[in-house]
Amino acid sequence: MLDGCTPPREHLAEAYRANGYWRGENLSALLRSWARRSADRTALVHGATRLTYRELDARVDRLAAGFRAHGLGPGDRVVVQLPNAPEFPAVCFALFRLGAVPVFSLTAHRAAELGHLLRVSQAAAYVLPAGHRGFDHLALGLRLRDEVPSLRTLFVLGGVPAGTAAVPLDRVDAEPVELPEPDPSEVAFFLLSGGTTALPKLIPRTHDDYAYQTRTAAEVNGLTERDVYLAALPVEFNFTWGCPGVIGTLGAGGTVVLADSPAPDDCFRLVEEEGVTFTSLVPTVAQLWLEAAEWSPHDLRTLRTVQIGGAPLAPELAARVGPGLGVRLQQVFGMAEGLLSFTRADDPEEAVLTTQGRPISPGDEVRIVGEDGAEVPPGATGELHTRGPYTLAGYYRAEEHNRTAFTADGFYRTGDLARMTAEGRLVIEGRIKDVIVRGGDKVSAGEVEGHLLEHPAVARAAVVGMPDEWLGERICAFVVPDGEPPTLAGLKQALQLRGLADYKLPDRLELVDAFPLTGLGKVDKKTLAAGLAAAAHRPLAASAQGGPR
Ligand code: AMP
């Protein structure tokens, strides 16, 4: 296995193979077999572009040969940062075919995240848009190429000015060549963890495990070639890419429609025009869709299932989804690390509205564990631990972190608090990991704190989530100033200059003289968060003067 990855335990790997979960298939060969099966059916739609399975597979062949001609080969890591466009799946499958390993980056990532991903993965290449949503990715890419020693080539989607040392993606094209088949037990690509530590961790996903995850998620949902999946959220999210998402839909012979944004205007038009049957949303976007559906002229009747996950879904919002959109709601609890739990079509309504369903595989092992490390009594709340055929065995190049992130018998400590109903359904009750879920975006408190501490006016920093009706949570930075107190605008600008993605910037600043401490002498974030919640309920005049400072 790729250096820096933790191989699965031998006895588990044997069981996963014996049970038919891992079939020894690689994702490149799977695409080839899907292209044989569904040759002339539409695989991908984006704007005016429509690609059949045959065309997609042929494009992947030529791209793979083109990447090879540009010096990429098996085992090379390639950071892929692309918007929702056919190039995203085409590039990823081409890299799979070549045995190279994509590292998924969000389009919102900036210098701080990209620099880290490129360095940690020792990427040989970086695939990026020339620009996206007003940001000049190419300029940043050229700078990073000078800074990161391993990085040799930039492949760019969109216009590249003459004389720029970067390769336009549409010129990555060569006669297909015979390539060795990738090893199914090898890492196919890296997803990113929402992260509890200062920097995002890389999650290795193997061909075997992801083929199994996407196939199973598609089977649980009864996907067929008549299904049309709308990739409304960013395609690089595990939720959109493979739960069952893009890959599961292609595996079932259906059609994937790529939306430029999850905004209801765009998406409702696509649902009507393309006959979309299912999609996946985070709760914040679902709320937008519900509001828009009241006045939308578009016909959404083909839409059968809307998956909602990635962040807590309030039961009141859950109850509005079916009647408001004329669809079946599926609650999804999932993580890029692996475990997926879905409500099912035949679940009682109460369960669909108030639980996150059951794990999708009989091979998923789940434990709910108390602070003492022992399993809690049935129905009680504790930390969710899991192990299974598509759950990671360790983060990439993170030996020390892995020692605490996993139990001695290889269960992943999710950092989520959950309970199990008598019927075996999971209910997510909160989290103990230091992550803020803003909309559906995961923000590691430690990462933001690290950047804040670099500011000369910040002596100490603690970042906590504050409840927000719209986004679920927003980011509040508590700061003990060093001299002249900083302002929120000043801090945001400083973090932006440090290259931090916009969605991680604090929404609120609270200046304090000191932090409350726990009995163990750690910053007591619970007390800080409780102070915020209390302030939110005080009349405006009082909270403007009072509050934690
Ligand atoms: P990611 O790997 O970015 O998909 O984030 C995974 C994390 O998102 C989980 O560990 C949970 O903390 C959170 N999450 C995902 N789905 C749900 C859900 N349905 N309800 C509450 N939290 C969720």
The pLDDT of residue 547 is: 38
Contact 228, 275 (CB under 8 A): yes
How far apart, in whole angstroms, are the C-alpha atoms of residue 167 and residue 201? 28
Of 14-23, 44-53, 198-207, 256-265, least confident by mean pLDDT is: 198-207
Domain regions of the chain by residue span: 27-42+51-182, 435-534
442 in contact with ligand 1, CB cutoff 6 A: yes
User: Residue 265: helix, strand or coil by DSSP?
Assistant: helix
- Which atom in ligand 1 lies closest to the alpha carbon of residue 337? 2
Q: Per-residue confidence at 538, pLDDT binned at 50, 70, 90? A: low
444 in contact with ligand 1, CB cutoff 6 A: no
How far apart, in whole angstroms, are the C-alpha atoms of residue 107 and residue 258? 15
The pLDDT of residue 333 is: 98
CA 332 to centroid of ligand 1, rounded, Å? 9
Tell me the per-residue pLDDT of 487-504, one tens digit each, with 9 for 90 and over. Answer: 999 999 999 999 999 999
Tell me the per-residue pLDDT of 112-134, one tens digit each, with 9 for 90 and over. Answer: 999 999 999 999 999 999 999 99
CA 205 to chain centre: 13
- pLDDT of 388 higher than 80: yes
Q: Over the chain, what is the mean pLDDT? A: 95
Instruction: Examine residue 506 and say whether the peptide bond preceding it is cis (omega within 30 degrees of 0).
Output: no
Q: Does domain 27-42+51-182 have CATH number 3.90.1560.10?
A: no
Contact 369, 377 (CB under 8 A): no
Q: By C-alpha distance, which of 95, 93, 91, 73 is closest to 82?
A: 91
The pLDDT of residue 195 is: 66
Best mutation site among 435, 437, 503 for ligand 1 pocket (most ligand atoms within 8 Å of CB): 437
CA 99 to centroid of ligand 1, rounded, Å? 30
* Host H or E run for residue 341: strand 338-342
Tell me the per-residue pLDDT of 299-334, one tens digit each, with 9 for 90 and over. Answer: 999 999 999 999 999 999 999 999 999 999 999 999
DSSP type of residue 342: E
Please state the rounded mean pLDDT for residues 224-252.
Answer: 98
Residue 195 gets the label, from left (phi > 0), alpha (psi -120 to 50) or beta, of left
Tell me the per-residue pLDDT of 146-166, one tens digit each, with 9 for 90 and over. Answer: 999 999 999 999 999 999 999
Question: For residue 138, which phi and psi values (nearest 5 degrees)?
Answer: -65, -45
309 in contact with ligand 1, CB cutoff 6 A: yes
**Number of other residues whose CB lies within 10 A of the CB of residue 32:** 18
Both tokens of 325, joined, read: 């959109």
Nearest CA to ligand 1 atom 15: 310
Best mutation site among 241, 280, 341, 428 for ligand 1 pocket (most ligand atoms within 8 Å of CB): 428
The interaxial angle of helices 245-252 and 207-220, nearest 10 deg, is 70
336 in contact with ligand 1, CB cutoff 6 A: yes
Contact 145, 165 (CB under 8 A): yes
- pLDDT of 100 higher than 70: yes
The pLDDT of residue 381 is: 98
Cα radius of gyration (the chain): 23
Q: Do domains 27-42+51-182 and 435-534 have the same CATH topology?
A: no
Q: Per-residue confidence at 519, pLDDT binned at 50, 70, 90? A: confident
Tell me the per-residue pLDDT of 441-481, one tens digit each, with 9 for 90 and over. Answer: 999 999 999 999 999 999 999 999 999 999 999 999 999 99
How far apart, in whole angstroms, are the C-alpha atoms of residue 104 and residue 80? 5
How far apart, in whole angstroms, are the C-alpha atoms of residue 331 and residue 313? 8
- pLDDT of 520 higher than 90: no
Please state the rounded mean pLDDT for residues 38-54.
Answer: 98
338 in contact with ligand 1, CB cutoff 6 A: no
The pLDDT of residue 546 is: 35
Contact 476, 507 (CB under 8 A): yes
How far apart, in whole angstroms, are the C-alpha atoms of residue 249 and residue 525? 42
Best mutation site among 442, 473, 503 for ligand 1 pocket (most ligand atoms within 8 Å of CB): 442
User: Residue 249: helix, strand or coil by DSSP?
Assistant: helix
SS3 readout for 27-69? HHHHHHHHHHHCCCCEEEEECCEEEEHHHHHHHHHHHHHHHHH
238 in contact with ligand 1, CB cutoff 6 A: yes
Tell me the per-residue pLDDT of 463-473, one tens digit each, with 9 for 90 and over. Answer: 999 999 999 99
Best mutation site among 335, 340, 443 for ligand 1 pocket (most ligand atoms within 8 Å of CB): 335
Both tokens of 217, joined, read: 């998620």
How far apart, in whole angstroms, are the C-alpha atoms of residue 215 and residue 462? 42
Q: Does domain 435-534 have CATH number 3.30.300.30?
A: yes
67 in contact with ligand 1, CB cutoff 6 A: no
